[in-house]
A and B are shown apart, each in its own frame.
Chain A
Amino acid sequence: MTLDSKIPSGPIAEKWDKHRFEMKLINPANKRKYSVIVVGTGLAGASAAASLAELGYEVTAFCYNDSARRAHSIAAQGGINAAKNYPNDGDSIYRLFYDTVKGGDFRAREANVYRLAQVSNNIIDQCVAQGVPFAREYGGYLDNRSFGGAQVSRTFYARGQTGQQLLLGAYSALMRQTGLGNVKLYCRHEMMEVVLVDGHARGVVMRDMVTGKIASYAADAVILATGGYANVFFLSTNAIACNVTAAYRAYKKGAGFANPCYTQIHPTCIPVSGDHQSKLTLMSESLRNDGRIWVPKAKADKRNPNDIPEEERDYYLERKYPSFGNLSPRDISSRSAKEACDDGRGVGQSGYGVNLDFRDAINRLGKHVIEERYGNLFQMYERITGEDPYSVPMRIYPAAHYTMGGLWVDYNLMSNVPGLHVLGEANFSDHGANRLGASALMQGLADGYFVIPYTIGHYLASYKKEKVTTDHPEFRKAEEEVRGRIGSLLSLNGSRTVASIHRELGNIMWEYCGMGRNETGLKKALELIPALREEFWQNAKVVGDGESLNNALERAGRVADFLEFSELMCHDALARNESCGGHFREEYQTEDGEALRNDEEYAHVAAWEFTGVGSKPNLHKEPLVFENVKLQTRSYK
């Protein structure tokens, strides 16, 4: 596996421009002769499919949802960053770039991040032109708010439904192209395999989830925009169907998987209430603009929070990180919450919760202002918990949320497998070891609207390839593999449900590869996971047939992949003997418990190569070179 990042030379601010000039073009009349497959219709996939179709490429898009509009991006609440500097508070492309690199704990590729900051402004323009109803001020101009890890207000939002509105924007562009016949869109179709011909990605094998039919699709290039894998933890803020299958299948076909252990545990989620729980609900980070986080100073203080006087409260983020306070980055906020709870000062039944208190904001601004800002979030909280957050503090606890790791891609967003491009949360590219709030939406749309339309043309123009059809033996072979795997899943007739095994896997990952990791725990996980995988193949039960809609079979396929992929995460976490961002190795911390990076040995991207199920994957390193920002200890004090 060779990792050539293809970062253009020259000053950082000019790289993208220079690269755009140097890339090959395909003339407008010829574009229709090229076909592209896009798997996924979230922000990244929908924006890519629509933009490529507008350019004239022949696009085929797939998603497993019943409509492209229901991709998991729809659930994003808080907002999207851009360096517009509308508030005139000191923002700039360079500052957004710098904040993102620093927020990622200096484990992201500078050139990619800079480009992201550059195109961020175009995204907002594009969305407004599509009719995305962003929040506005009375004067009619766009409103901004702040998010964690930034001291400027650069976050654009649409009530608490920013992801929904951005996705509906991209979806509407996709619908337009579908209606015009420029995109062939298949919903309720799940990708089972990527197909390589002569080393190039030339298509996919899909399962029609309604009829069970296995079919191949061929194209000149393949784009995966299949989202993140936080559901490896079973409980996460992700939608139920989110999974790693597409990315993992590509990994098994030779694509490098980069930094799989970098997972983000979001600090503000509704705590777990019991074993029945199927998912965790995020309370947007934007709440931290006005809510104050605290726990009682005394251990096991079970008083009603409103009865605890000011001097007996520990506003621990404000205390420990005075300059960022409640808006400290996610990794730091999550770890602090865990520390407080591990110290016996957590609140709620389980003791695994901290208060997010709006009392002071309500007194200062009035209830109506808080209602206007967060009304739907408060309502959601009340529905789930049965408690009224206007009168008692919310109770929150960290939960698995986002995965910075993903398939390795170069500057052109192409993996090491030629022709296989990866966009959005599914790639590893821009967030380093920790993603800042409101930056995933930005990245997904940057990739889809403003990067891939250029870079894919360059790829297509650079390789003269034979046309392949789905009659090619590689497709036949891949289809057979898929049928074989589905057959083995359907033959599972043990006594345990797939969900119970998934839940057990989630517990292992949360315990040993979650917020805090150490060598002993990771080694233990590496023993437990193969045993659980064995249990799955011996003792799971899958009912129904393969010729119709079968939720049980779908889930079994996804969990089977998680049971292999989780091992890769642990290998990566074990190999990275440092703490950085969301990867906190307990052996590597400063005296006051902050993450201790090791830039000498670990300032690299760890890209893993598949060597067989259960065998240790090979590690390849892409060194990270910092020419613009100075590596320093990240401080939010």
Chain B
Amino acid sequence: MPIITYRQALNDTLGEELARDPNVLLMGEEIGVFQGSYRITEGLLQEFGPKRVVDTPIAEEGFVGVAIGAAMLGLRPVVEIMTINFILVAIDQVVNHASKIHYMFGGQVRVPLVIRTPSGGTGQLAATHSQSFENWFAYCPGLKVVAPATPYDAKGLLRAAVRDDDPVIFIESLALYDTKGDVPDDDDYVVPIGVAEVKRRGEDVTVVAYSRMTAVALQVAQRLENEGISVEVVDLRSLRPLDRPTIIESVKKTGRAVVIAEDWYSYGVTAEIAATIQEQAFDYLDAPVLRVAGLEVPLPYAKELSAVSKPNANSLIYAIHQVLAGSSRGALWAK
């Protein structure tokens, strides 16, 4: 199987979907002439022309709304929002309209729309450019939210998203774009939306993660193996719908769980997962469920302050040790 980057997986898939269905079109800032702010759409304007690859002005609320309206008439827009921070100016269209139209109008019209956007932060991007808001969208019934961690899943989930008849928020990560993995090139596989995957089997503790934190969890699992700790990694892949059975099945086996996500601790994704585990697997738990998440600050710019504000391998290892010791002192970074 060819080994390609996450970026390449996305780029290939967008090209294939454009070629497969004439109603698919790409829309977003700097995706064409500029070749994409993070080069995800590189070469596609040249290949498919400006009708299919549409450069927009800086007008997120406008063009996201346009994409929703176009989807109502059968187009299948795939919108790029440069980073998730900028979707906030368009959130009304997504939350008040895209998520509700199919249900609220009695199922008469569909909104086959994908919004792709990188979430999270790396490299001192500072407070306004480092945020994680996937939980805001995962909160909304009517939206589907996916967050692949590997090139394989990126491809399979993007295919699923483009072919899905509902609005899908497709969460990427700047730090994943250059990561590599196996992706078959002769197989039109689809990764189903709403289905998690156990990315690594283990016995002692379950780590639940998604997107970049899945990569961190897999590294940690590898490292801890040398210490004789066997970590099972559940990669959510979708935040809505949430694959609760896969999480619960894993926790019932290991009896211990740590949940890690890059967003802020309070009211973040980890809270939902932890609540689910204690509701559905309480009798199987040998220790409290611990959470590892971002420190609750507008991310400071200064290099070291910035670095310590995001969860990483160290904080995950700490929490795993705590949970193995049966301690509830994992939530020290909250208060």
A and B bound? Answer: no
Residues of B within 8 A of A (CB): none
Residues of A within 8 A of B (CB): none
